[in-house]
Structure 1
Amino acid sequence: MPWINYLGNEDFFSLISNTGGGYSFYKDAKLRRITRYRYNNVPADNGSRCYYLSLMDSDSADAKPVETWSPTFLPCKTPLDSCKCRQGIGYTVFEASKRGIESKLTAFVPLHTNAEINRLDVTNTTNEPAVIDVTGSVEWCLWNAVDDSSNFQRNLSTGEVEIERETDATLLYHKTEFKERRNHYAFYGVNTPVVGFDTSRDEFLGQFNGWDTPQVIAEGKAHDSVAHG
């Protein structure tokens, strides 16, 4: 069974497993669920924070991945040369290596801050240069966790995102909440320039693909999709 750690402060909480699964919420786990989690899903423990490390065949705009893996066991499930998870009080650290590329992912929730912070360090330990494409993703829950899982067809018409692209950072806002009753939002941000994004799950994954084999990752290029409605 997944080994769960609890990250949190006064108002913001995350559950994170040794495989990288789990979810986040703000104040209320049912009514203000931030990321989606399917409790009885097959395969088990998918969801929440996903990262993809792709070794590219070149640094050109049309470069393709030679191989893709995750700094955690999920979602890729690619056999790693080494993998270690360390759960501490209020933080979790994943260390992995593949093809001489070492990664260290640290997840924690700072005090007095309504956010989960993920720090990903990637190190090339070989004697040859390597081009690594890094992609991070989350799947939003439509706030009410029960309604999100039981009345999804109606919820499909309430989805709303906003993209804020700056020269040094990109923010993706998740604003869904039945329009007139909304008084909160969630965001996903990266503190470094990005080459692309996707906010449509169908566009990112592609038809019949799971989180272990997204179409965008296989292509090596984001589609800049904007989900609405």
Structure 2
Amino acid sequence: MAATNTDNVEKLLENTNAILERMANSQSPIIQAYAEVATEGAKGFVYNGVMKPSIAQSYTKEHYEFCIRNLNCNDKNGLDIPLSAQETNRITATTNNNGYGLKLMPLYHLIENDNLYKATPTEADLQDVAEAVSKDVINLLEKAHIPIGTTVWLKLANGDNSIKLYIKGIEHSIFQKGYSVGIIGDDITQQQQTNSRTLESTYSPFEESTCGSTIRTMTIGENDGTFKIYWAEQ
């Protein structure tokens, strides 16, 4: 039996819907935020867990301008929640667009791993670790919709010297992908400095993060010279 006009129309619609579905699934994620030079003297806080409106409002009322949010989980109980694309857009969107109106920078915890880090690494070991870690960082940055150019902060793991040996390689690999890189140490009282960029750390009086540790606040120091701190904003 020959196909009717109705059959042809239904087939056409079916094919069209299938094409549209494939196009939707293959489209690159829309990154709404963009990288901008951070303001000297701006205050911010570090948070592990999904940002709630009450948290954002508490800090913005106290004139905090940015948030440093973790990309990966550093809690053995799995209580840290990695940054998502939806949260990135919510944090950086203006209050007029139902956002929190905060600037954002991501934080990656370098975690000690006996299978990855060696006490006396060879040059090949350094390259392998830098490639593996930076690949994970880039993957998480893309999932979280962090725009190219934003400063990615690397948190050292418990002051472990073996991890510090790999930092330069990791920094270089991430930099090659278009991001800038900063280092945050373990000592809460020390100045965090990298490439003439400084963050000062203190304790925050507001509330605890989801993993039970006290929220840290940070202040951007002199942000001049060639290597500046960049945050994501909308």
Q: What TM-score, normalized to structure 2?
A: 0.31
- Which structure's relative contact order is higher, taking Cα pairs within 8 Å and 6+ residues apart? 2
Q: Which is higher, the Rg of structure 1 or of structure 2?
A: 2
Task: Return the structure number with greater helix share.
Answer: 2
